[in-house]
Structure 1
Amino acid sequence: MKVLWLCNIMLPAYAKVHGIEYSPREGWLSGCFDKITRDKKSDREIELGVCFPATGAIASSKEVIDDVTYYGFIEDLEHPEKYDDSIELRLKEIVDDFKPDVLHIFGTEFPHTLAMLKVFGKPERVLLGIQGICGKIAEEYMADIPEEVQKNSTFRDRLKSDSILQQREKYFVRARRETESIRLVGNITGRTAFDKEETARINPDARYYKMNETMRSSFYEGKWEEKGAIPHSIFIPQGDYPLKGFHFMLKAMPEILSKYPDAHLYVAGNNIIGRGKSKYPYFLRASAYGKYIKYLISSNKLKKKVTMVGMLNEEGMKEQFLKSSVFVCPSVVENSPNSLAEAMLLGMPVVAARVGGIPSLIQGNKECQFFEKGDVKGLAEAILQIWDEPVIAAVYGDNARKRALVTHDPEINYKRLLEIYRDIEIRTAEK
């Protein structure tokens, strides 16, 4: 069976061969890829092709590495709200060359999804994997930040046409394209009640397959222990735009610090409040949301209580998880965040907002402490409860780990993926 993957990123397996720096995002893709390619070609049920956005010569290349066929195509990932018709020509070349029995598209966030669906033209042979839901992201984007912050625009925002209001509008544009894409497919895979409900609302005729994700391999090894963690350290995986709830965490810190003065917040991802590795001064790079975050840090006297750890690779993320005393997901909407899954696999104490697909992944008062979306006091209380009752917190972590080891079991998920591919192939052959 020939299966063509349409991915949002260059897979690490390809990047490593060429000595190219690769994105740490979408780590579960590598987990899935490793299972498919572990066998000799003669023993594989799947003949795999992978196409991905690229630049330079790779964008028009075809290359076979370890019996996997790779294709590049050019796309402006910096402006995913813009649709360029020319991408369709390259994607048609790829489809005509590989001739897939099944087309597996990972995500709806980028223009290449709709472009590929237009040129492929066989909805019954398409499996669309749902990651985030752009429509819900657009609706929730502002995350209760003050109206004056929403309307603010910095030099950087004006230069890039990327104010907070413009960022939200871009998600609405992407949401319209996402809706069109979902309507053009016959098969959808997801893993939460949230994504099932949202996709059924758009395309009730599509067949929905539940399939869980396999995480990056290192997160299946080792386990969080309180003695190995920095006391009263909080870790959030990113905070570069309002949706992720960084501002809620900062507002919760004073109450947390009143009881635990040594509490400290660590934030991964893009650093929106400091210079980082940029050659440009901060005032030229500052976004309106970044300025708001700096204001909250200053007004709450948190300068020595917040550390931006930057973009972390797989090893760096695992290390940060293990040395933090609690993982917090304060987002106002999520479907199935990889960072939550990784924290669960390591058995960390977890505090999470009860939003989107998260309740499908983890159970409150058994595997985590929930708080309601945007409830700063509830967030602080949930973290304090974890620290006040370390034995219970450790039990929650153990329970979460047991669940995650089943949910994200590589062998189970690989077998399920093959089942789905076979089912699509059989049903299309019958027509």
Structure 2
Amino acid sequence: MRVLWFTDVLPAAARRHLGLPPAPGPQAWVDCLADELGRRAVDLTVAVPWPQPFPAFTSGGVRFVGLAASPEPAGRWRRVLEGWRHRVDDPLALAAARRLVRELRPDVVHVHGTESVCAPLVPVVEGAPCVVSLQGLLGQYRRFYFAGRTAGDLVRLALSPETLKGRGELHGYARLAAKARREAWVLRTGRWFMGRTAWDRAALAAANPAARYFHCDELLREPFHAAEWRPQGHDGSRLYCTSSTMLFKGGETLLEALALLRRAGHAGLRLRLAGVPPASEVGRLYRAAARRSGVAGAVDWLGRLDGAAIAAEIAAADVFVYPSHVDNSPNALAEAMLVGAPVVATFAGGIPSLLRHGEEGLLVPRGDAVALAHAVATLLADRELAARL
């Protein structure tokens, strides 16, 4: 079978080929799937829009191609202007993708995510089914983008130097909203989709009842298969969360819950937070929230970590906490469950499809710091329950 896979994320093999350093982040999950398909009887080509297109090369039985994509504008003021335009479509990359489809004549075309710049291919590919994987649901993410933010937070974002330069979270929201409009069109016009949760299945059924839906779970990175959480040696002093710089990940709720727990008798409790660079816009908002809650000295800001470091953090934590306001099937949560750590997460989006409350972890309402603190305290007090979950 000949498969052509479009992704906006540069895989590790391509980074090595181009002489670029490794980068922690979403490409790790793309790499897992590419590696697995490369070991099977699949003729796989992975195509990536890239400002410096590169000729096809083969690594691990997989062919990689760099598609011509629009480069960043030259000149400071042109980049600022482009940042304020919030354009998400790339006609150059889309034209290159169409040419590649005609050249390879694949049996299946796969677009990785409705947010992909190649998503508009979905309804126009001829001669082969074009399947899009539902990674997130941007239309729903847009509704919760600023959840938990204070008026002061929004003022700080509006006055941020990043905003003036056409970057930062307010512009990120505008671009996400534009992608959400494109996603709505893809959901209405596509015929074949892959997803992993009851939530994304329901969203597709509402948008396009005639579409075919295929359940397809995500592959997880190797370090999380090797790591193991052991209840011995955990002293109830460490929470861990893998987050990101998306505003809706609920960091402010977690910090408020940490303050409640420390005041309620867990005075030595610390939070280790990964995925949020302290100097980023979201990092600055979280640090301000930590100061307001009186827990600034109880948070270890770890920044971005690779898979091995994250697995080690999960294995060493007393409780893994995932407080997001909305998510479809967060790999961070699935990785913690694979390691075996006791988990507290929010009843939001597709998360209940991953975690059964009371059997595989505890679920709490989104944005509810009191409920979050109570669930964490329950696991810290009942180590037998924590080990069972």
User: TM-score normalised to the size of structure 1?
Assistant: 0.81
| SS of alignment partner, residue 348 of structure 1 | coil
Give the 4+ runs in structure 1 shifted more than 6 A. 76-80
Deviation, structure 1 residue 383:
0.7
CA distance in 2, matches of 1:394, 1:212: 25
- Residues 69/165 of structure 1: CA separation in 2 closer, same or farther (3 Å cut): closer
Contact 1:246/1:330 (8 A) holds in 2: yes
1:47-58 to 2 correspondences below 5 Å: 47-56=43-52
Long gaps (5+) in structure 1: 275-285, 397-431
Alignment CA distance shift 1:133-1:85 (3 Å): same
Paired residue for 1:125?
A: 129
Q: Secondary structure at the match of 2:213?
A: strand
- Choose which of 265, 271, 276 in structure 2 pairs with 1:270: 276
Is residue 169 of structure 1 aligned with residue 174 of structure 2? yes
Hey, what's the Cα distance between the residues in 1 that align with 2:231 and 2:260? 22
Q: Which residue of 2 aligns with 1:340?
A: 333
**1:322 deviation in Å?**
1.0
Structure with a larger share of its residues in helix:
1
TM superposition shift of 1:22: 3.6
Q: How far, CA to CA, are the matches of 1:164 and 1:29 in structure 2?
A: 25
Aligned to 1:157: 162
Q: Which moved more, 1:339-348 or 1:84-93?
A: 84-93
TM-score (norm 2): 0.89
What corresponds to 1:219 in structure 2? Answer: 224
Alignment CA distance shift 1:77-1:31 (3 Å): farther
Name 2:13's counterpart in structure 1.
13
Deviation at 1:218, TM superposition (A): 2.2
Residue of structure 2 equivalent to 1:4: 4
Counterpart residue number, 2:78: none
1:91·1:119 contact (CA, 8 Å) conserved in 2?
Answer: no
Indicate the SS of the match to 1:195.
helix
Once the two structures are superposed, residues 291-327 of structure 1 have per-residue CA deviations (whole angstroms, 9 ceiling, x without a partner) of 4322222222222211111111111111111111111
Note if 1:307 corresponds to 2:291.
Answer: no
Q: 1:31 to 1:230 in 2, by over 3 A?
A: farther
Q: 1:319 aligns with which of 302, 312, 315?
A: 312
Q: Counterparts of 1:25-424 in structure 2 under 5 Å?
A: 25-26=25-26, 27-38=28-39, 44=41, 46-56=42-52, 59-75=53-69, 81-114=87-120, 116-117=121-122, 120-121=125-126, 125-152=129-156, 153-162=158-167, 164-229=169-234, 231-258=236-263, 259-271=265-277, 273-274=278-279, 287=281, 289-396=282-389
**Whole-Å Cα distance in 1 between the matches of residues 39 and 24 of structure 2?**
21
Taking a change above 3 Å as real, the CA distance of residues 71 and 307 of structure 1, as seen in their structure-2 partners, is same
Contact kept in structure 2, 1:327 and 1:343, CA below 8 Å:
yes
Structure 1: which amino acid aligns with 2:162?
D
Contact preservation (8 Å) 1:229, 1:322: no
**1:163–1:206 Cα change, 3 Å:** same
Q: Is the 8 A contact 1:10 1:23 kept in 2?
A: no
Q: Kindly tell me: are residues 222 and 242 of structure 1, through their superposed partners in 2, closer, same or farther at Cα, counting changes over 3 Å?
A: closer
2:39·2:61 contact (CA, 8 Å) conserved in 1?
no
Quote the Cα distance in structure 2 between the aligned partners of 1:321 and 1:356. Answer: 23
CA contact (8 A) 2:70 2:93 kept: no
Greater RCO (Cα-Cα under 8 Å, separation 6 or more): 1
- Alignment root-mean-square deviation, CA: 2.3
Q: Is the 8 A contact 2:200 2:328 kept in 1?
A: yes
Contact kept? 1:235, 1:320, Cα under 8 Å: yes
CA spacing shift, 1:77–1:332, aligned 2, 3 Å = farther
SS of structure 2 residue aligned to 1:111: coil
In structure 1, distance between residues paired with 2:61 and 2:285 = 50
Gaps of at least 5 residues in structure 2 are 73-82
Alpha-carbon distance, 1:68 to partner: 2.3
- Higher mean displacement: 242-251 or 165-174: 165-174
Displacement of 1:351 in angstroms is 0.3
Q: Deviations over 1:192-218 (max 9, x none)?
A: 000001111112111001111111122
